[in-house]
Amino acid sequence: MLMQALRNDRGGQVLIGVLLVLMIAVPLLNQLPPGHALHVPTYTVTLMGKYLTLALLAVAVDLVWGYLGILTLGHAAFFALGGYAMGMYLMRQIGDRGVYGNPLLPDFMVFLNWDELPWFWYGFDEFWFAALMVLLIPGLLAFVFGALAFRSRVSGVYLSIITQALTYALMLAFYRNEMGFGGNNGLTDFKDILGFDLQADSTRLGLFIASALALLLGYLLCRYLMAGRLGRVCVAVRDAESRARFLGYRVENVKLGVFTVSAMLAGVAGALYVPQVGIINPNEFSPLNSIEVVVWVAVGGRATLYGAVVGALVINYAKTYFTAELPEIWLFALGGLFVVVTLLLPRGITGLLRRREASA
Amino acid sequence: MTVASVFEQILDRDHVYPFMQRARPHDIDVSHQVLLYLEGISVSFDGFKAINDLNLYINDGELRCIIGPNGAGKTTMMDIITGKTRPDTGSAWFGQTINLLDMDEPAIAQAGIGRKFQKPTVFEFLSVAENLELAMEDDRTLWTILSSRLSGEQRDHLDQVLEMIGLADQRLLHAGSLSHGQKQWLEIGMLMMQRPRLLLVDEPVAGMTHQEMDRTAELLTSLAGQHSVVVVEHDMDFVRNLAAGGRTVTVLHQGSVLAEGTMDEVQNNQKVVEVYLGE
């Protein structure tokens, strides 16, 4: 069924092709000598890896917003939780190489005069446990939150507002030192992952490839889910929720299932993001981040999945460029872009391309 | 229940627990020929009595027309039957055994009550065939939604319904691009896909041309017999057409039944004339 879905999915074919080419070409071009015209510096590799994880987050948001009509303004919370789970693993890998050289406790706990590891840090020495938590913690939170919200039929603007409240509450909680997640400094100063030095070029290439692969698999999963009857039920719920109920569909279960899968994807994106940027702190929970993701999806084109990838890459590239060259312009450019897209391109950048293709 | 009998139950491989049974259309007990019982139902919204001690019985396989002036409580009655609104008092039974007041909208829909709305609500971004597929009688758990594909029999049923509603040539078209009348038929087609025991049809011919109306009347009459059909309608010509042959017509007024009988009886009823024409 997936193959059949991909056959009708031009944008998806292009995306998969580009990702496969990147996974092979970027490591090769990185090997060229630094003076060479085609040399891709490691800094750029990591930057691209970071963009790819953000694109995966955008795909996760498109799954719930584009197909199911849930305007989530809190998905960065799931992204950050996945990031924190990975960050905790990376903290445990530091061992006694911290500033205080304590073999048992991370630096910030030594600084707070704690004498033993809190219970919720147990198990994060092991990669498999951390990887499991990357999926389980965001998934569980989304499940509980979704069960409460969707059962009581909260939808529309009200749901958007409580997703904002969710991520804001988490941000405030993670800012507190007593929480045991490093307070406002967050988790940083990572040394290695699975025994590989995080500063080494080869590790950075590995993380880049892992990010591209995660985006590829995440895209395929979402495409698979939305290609069958579930996708049509989602669209039905998005466009006429009560009608879907009168057809006998348990709307809340559909929403809950898709929302949970989406949160888990966001968690994976966060877990791959953290080792590449080298830090995770409570700012990642800030409500503004979640809103920005929605802007990426809107700019790229809703309910296409590949549009979310395009939007995330275009805007983040623009962000990197503008904040370096014209820092005072960036926020105006972002706001202006959102207005222009909403007014002139309701189906986003990819909608424009599709229209051109259809008329050709 | 004693401990021993519980053990016996667990060990018995063929034991059927209540949770294993689903209320299926063919499980509905209509041994008294009555499919739907509404008894003593009242609802008020902010002090306004939308339904006032309503009693209504629909027989198995009958086609019933319900008429009444604006605000008579026709749509509220449908909301109660389909679980959208909870009545303040009264009881609603589907067959002898299914208590509708204990169930929510999806459960009632799965038990075999289909509803067509006043304003045609089809899923505009899906094709005609996909609309029908969504409505098809099938298991509705998340897992089956994810993994199911159309069986040969289901495909035949779909083609048959497309033929009946006259949209076979439009099957791949987006439902949003259909004309108003075609959307109404598509919605009726969706009801047929559900294979409900009871169809509630709210103003099916609003905004239709005369030819379309005749076609709709034919469709609905052909459905009666295997399904019970309840039609709420304002258009008197259409109701006269449907109720021809001595079918029962119910007149609602201020939330309760004012008169019931054949079209001729109802039209000559003094109270009905008063309500419709004023004193």
**What digits encode the pLDDT tens for the residues A284-315?**
999 999 999 999 999 999 999 999 999 999 99
Contact B82 A246 (CB under 8 A): yes
Rg (CA), chain A: 21
- Those residues with Cβ within 8 angstroms of residue A309's Cβ, 6 or more apart along the chain or in another chain: A15, A55, A58, A59, A215, A219, A300
| Cβ-contact B93, B37 below 8 angstroms | yes
Mean pLDDT across A107-116: 92
In a mutagenesis test of the B interface, which of A68, A247, A250 is the best target, namely the one with the most B β-carbons within 10 Å? Answer: A247
Residue B87 burial (C-beta neighbours within 10 Å; 0-12, 13-18, 19+): buried
* SS3 assignment, position A182: coil
∠ at Cα B214 (B210, B219), nearest 5°?
145
Cβ neighbours, 10 Å, residue B152: 7
Contact B106 A257 (CB under 8 A): no
Chain B residue closest to A253 (CA)?
B142
User: Looking at residue B26, what is its pLDDT?
Assistant: 53
Q: Cβ of B105 under 8 Å from any chain A Cβ? A: yes
| Cβ-contact A190, A278 below 8 angstroms | yes
Tokens read off for A123: 């198990």
Tokens read off for A277: 């940027």
Which among A230, A242, A248 has CB closest to B146? A230
Q: Cβ of B146 under 8 Å from any chain A Cβ? A: yes
Residue B37 burial (C-beta neighbours within 10 Å; 0-12, 13-18, 19+): middle
In total, chain A counts a number of residues equal to 360
User: Looking at residue B28, what is its pLDDT?
Assistant: 80
User: Looking at residue A139, what is its pLDDT?
Assistant: 97
For CA atoms B240, B246, B248, B250, give the dihedral sign.
Answer: positive
Residue with the bigger pLDDT between B137 and A157: it is A157
- Taking the whole predicted model, whether its pTM rises above 0.80 is answered as yes
User: Looking at residue A135, what is its pLDDT?
Assistant: 97
A–B interface: beta-carbon pairs under 8 A = 71
Taking the alpha carbons at both ends of chain A, their separation in whole angstroms is 29
Q: Cβ of B202 under 8 Å from any chain A Cβ? A: no
Which among A228, A239, A251 has CB closest to B125? A239
Which residues from A are below 8 Å from B148, CB to CB?
Answer: 228-229
> Can you list the domains of chain B with their CATH numbers?
29-277 (3.40.50.300)
CA dist A159 and A342 (Å) reads 21
pLDDT digits (tens, 9 = 90+) for A222-259: 999 999 899 999 999 999 999 999 999 999 999 999 99
Longest dimension (CA), chain A: 69
Which among A232, A245, A247 has CB closest to B126? A232
Give residue for tokens 């048959």: B160
CA dist B154 and B195 (Å) reads 12
SS3 content of chain B, % helix, strand, coil (to 5): 40, 25, 35
Residue with the bigger pLDDT between B278 and A126: it is A126
B138 CA: distance to closest CA in chain A (Å): 9
CA dist A208 and A27 (Å) reads 9
Contact B145 A250 (CB under 8 A): no
Q: Which of A134, A114, A115 is nearest to A178 (CA)?
A: A114
Which residues from B are below 8 Å from A223, CB to CB?
Answer: none
B167 CA: distance to closest CA in chain A (Å): 20
- Those residues with Cβ within 8 angstroms of residue A317's Cβ, 6 or more apart along the chain or in another chain: A51
Q: Cβ of B126 under 8 Å from any chain A Cβ? A: yes
Tokens read off for A168: 């804001």
Alpha helices in B195-278 (DSSP H): 210-223, 236-242, 263-268, 270-277
* SS3 assignment, position A135: helix
Mean pLDDT across A124-148: 97
Q: Which of A1, A7, A16, A13 is nearest to A213 (CA)?
A: A16
User: Looking at residue A352, what is its pLDDT?
Assistant: 84
Q: Give chain A's mean pLDDT.
A: 93
pLDDT digits (tens, 9 = 90+) for A183-228: 999 999 999 999 999 999 999 999 999 999 999 999 999 999 999 8
Distance of CA A293 to the CA centre of its chain: 9
Mean pLDDT across A18-39: 92
In a mutagenesis test of the A interface, which of B75, B131, B145 is the best target, namely the one with the most A β-carbons within 10 Å? Answer: B145
Q: Which of B24, B104, B28, B36 is nearest to B64 (CA)?
A: B36
User: Looking at residue A316, what is its pLDDT?
Assistant: 94
Taking the alpha carbons at both ends of chain B, their separation in whole angstroms is 64
Which helix (H) or strand (E) segment is A334 a member of? helix A330-344
Q: How confident is chain B (279 residues) per 10-residue block, as mean pLDDT?
A: 80 75 64 90 90 92 89 89 92 91 91 87 92 89 82 90 91 92 90 90 86 88 87 86 88 90 89 76
Residue with the bigger pLDDT between B9 and A98: it is A98
Contact B145 A229 (CB under 8 A): yes
